[in-house]
Structure 1
C-alpha cells in the first residue's frame, strides 16, 4: 500500500464518508453497531495518517522487515536506523505533531471530564437527597433526569421529574440512565471527543462526536425497552423534554439535551423494519474493513517478507542436508 493510497484512504474516510454515514438510516436501527463503526473509522483514519507519515521516513516493506527482525530478535533493519533526507525529517515532524496533539487533547479532555464529575459529586452531596441505591433527588421544579458516572455512578432526578412521571415511566427512565452507566457510555464518548478536540477540521472526528452521543442515547433506549414498553418510554421522554435553550440544573456529559427528542420518540413509536442477517453482516464487514486497513498496511508487507524469509531458510536447510549426505 503506497503513500498515495494511504492519503486517498484518509481523504475518503476522513472527509467524504462521514456525511454519508451520518445520513444512513440503518444507524438508528442498530445504534451499537453504528457507534462502533464511527469509533473504528476514527481510529483507522488516525492510524493510517500515522502510517502515511511513516512512509515518508521509510517504506511499508521496511516496516515489515522491522516486524520480522524484531520477532527474530535481530534488531532494526538498517533503513530505520536514522533519517537521511528532508522527507524523512518531514515524516518525523508529522508523526510528532499527530501524536503530541492527540496526547495533549486526551489529557485536556480526560482532565476536564474528571473535574466535571468530581464537581457533580460534590454538588450532589451538598444539594441532593438520596432516594435509593445510586439515585439522588434534586429539589428543582424542572423535570429532568441524567446520570453522573464515576464513584459507582449516580442517577439524578429532579422533584419536577418525580411530579410528572408515573411509576412505570419512572422505571423506564431509571432503566435508560442505568444503561448509560453499565454501558460506560461516558468512556465511549471520550475517543471522538479527544480526536475532535485535537483535529477540529477533520469532518470524521467532529461528526463522530455528535453521532456517537446520539447513538448512545438510542442504545440506552434499546436497553431500557427490556424493562418498559416503547409507549411508556416515549411518554417519559416527552414528559422530560425541555426547550432547546434550557439547561439541566447540573449538566452531565450524558444528558440528552443535544439529542433530538423527536427522533427518539418517533423511533420508539414507529414499527421498526425487519433486520436481516445479510444486512447486519454487510454493515459489520464495513466496520471490520476500517479496523483491518491499518493492520493490513503493515501486516501484508510483513507477511510477504516473513514468507520469503521462511522459504529462503527452508531452502538453505535443504541444501545443507543435501551437502551433508
Structure 2
C-alpha cells in the first residue's frame, strides 16, 4: 500500500498538478510564492518517486520463515520466487538509475552553464566598453552601473551574466533608445536577477527536467519558473522606476535575443509581462495561500506516507 500511495502521489505531482498550475493566472500576482510552490511540487514529486521505488524494492528484505529479513540473494529468491524477486530488482535498478541521472544532470547543467557564462563574460570584457559616467544619463543611480559593459550593437539589448564575476550588459542601441528612467528600470531588473541569484532556481528546474526521459518529463515547471523569475525582477524595477518606464523598456528590448546562460530583460515573455504591469497588483492573500499549499505539499505526504513506511521498515530490520 505504501508503494501504491507513493506512486499515486508522484504521478499527481508530476502530471495533473503541474498542468493545472501552469494554466492558472494567479501566479502572476504572487510570483515569489508561486516559485516556492513549484519548488515544493518538484521536490515532493522526486521524493515520492524515490519512495515508491524504494518501498517496492524493500520487499526484497521481507521476513523469512524465522521472522528475520531475507537479506541474502538466495533468501530473497526462496521467499519471493523468481518472477516477483526479479521485478523488485528491476524496480530497484530503475530507482538507482534515476537517482544517478538526477545527480549527473545537476552536475552537468551547473558545469555547462558556468563554462558558457565564463566564455561569454570573457568575450564581453574584450569587446565591450567598461562603464563610464558619460555612458549613462545623469539621473541613473551610480550603484546600478557597477560591472556594466556596453556593447556596440544598434539593437536595444539588456541582459546579465550571473555568477561570482557577474556582468550587466547593455547595448549602444539601448542607451540611444531608452530614457533615463527606462535605463534605471532595466538596470534594476538585471540587478534583481543577480542579487537574488535567480539563475540557481532556474538551474534546479533545468536539471530535474533533463534528468527524466522525454516521454516522462513535462516542460510546464521549467517554462513557468522562467516567467516567474522575470516577474520578480520586474517587481523590483517597478519599485525603483515605476511601471511605465519598465513597460517601455521591455517593449524596446522585446525582440532582442540574449546568449544561453544569460537572463535577459526582453525576450518572448515581454508582451505577457507588459500586460501584467497594467493589471491588478500583487496579492498578499494569494501569496499566503500559495505558501500554505507549498507547505502542505511537502508536509502532508511526509506525515501520511513516509513516517508509517519508515516505521514499518525500522520494525522489519530489527525483527
TM-score bracket, normalised by the shorter chain, equals 0.7 to 0.9
Deviations 1:108-134, CA, capped at 9 Å, x for gaps: 211210111111111112111111411
**Contact 2:14–2:45 (8 Å) recurs in 1:** yes
In structure 2, what is the equivalent of residue 226 of structure 1?
A: 239
Deviations 1:136-158, CA, capped at 9 Å, x for gaps: 11111110000001233111000
Q: How does 1:100-139 map to 2 (within 5 A)?
A: 100-131=100-131, 132-139=145-152
Deviation at 1:268, TM superposition (A): 0.9
**Contact 2:162–2:194 (8 Å) recurs in 1:** yes
In structure 2, what is the equivalent of residue 198 of structure 1?
A: 211
**2-structure distance, mates of 1:80, 1:276:** 54
Does residue 265 of the first structure (1) align with residue 278 of the second (2)?
A: no
**Contact 1:44–1:291 (8 Å) recurs in 2:** yes
Deviation at 1:15, TM superposition (A): 1.2
Deviation at 1:102, TM superposition (A): 0.9
In structure 2, what is the equivalent of residue 22 of structure 1?
A: 22
TM-aligned CA distance change 1:257 to 1:197, over 3 Å? farther
**Contact 1:42–1:204 (8 Å) recurs in 2:** no
**Contact 1:40–1:290 (8 Å) recurs in 2:** yes
Deviation at 1:256, TM superposition (A): 4.7
Aligned length: 286
**1-structure distance, mates of 2:56, 2:197:** 38
Structure 2: gaps spanning 5 or more residues = 77-84, 132-144
Deviation at 1:294, TM superposition (A): 5.2
Q: Which 4+ stretches in 1 moved above 6 angstroms?
A: 303-306
**2-structure distance, mates of 1:142, 1:251:** 18
**Contact 1:171–1:228 (8 Å) recurs in 2:** yes
* Stretch deviating more after TM superposition (93-102 or 193-202): 193-202
Structure 1: gaps spanning 5 or more residues = 63-76, 309-325
**2-structure distance, mates of 1:276, 1:46:** 29
The TM-score with structure 1 as length reference comes to: 0.80
Q: 2:293 aligns with which of 286, 299, 302?
A: 286
Deviations 1:10-36, CA, capped at 9 Å, x for gaps: 221211112210111111111111111
Deviation at 1:303, TM superposition (A): 6.4
* Stretch deviating more after TM superposition (28-37 or 281-290): 281-290
In structure 2, what is the equivalent of residue 312 of structure 1?
A: none
Does residue 217 of the first structure (1) align with residue 230 of the second (2)?
A: yes
TM-aligned CA distance change 1:125 to 1:197, over 3 Å? same
Deviation at 1:97, TM superposition (A): 1.2
Over aligned residue pairs, what C-alpha RMSD do you find?
Answer: 2.6
Q: 2:183 aligns with which of 164, 170, 185?
A: 170
The TM-score with structure 2 as length reference comes to: 0.81
In structure 1, what is the equivalent of residue 302 of structure 2?
A: 295
Deviation at 1:205, TM superposition (A): 4.5
In structure 2, what is the equivalent of residue 247 of structure 1?
A: 257
Q: How does 1:147-166 map to 2 (within 5 A)?
A: 147-166=160-179
**1-structure distance, mates of 2:154, 2:260:** 16
Describe the SS at the equivalent of 1:270.
Answer: coil
**1-structure distance, mates of 2:263, 2:218:** 18
In structure 2, what is the equivalent of residue 323 of structure 1?
A: none
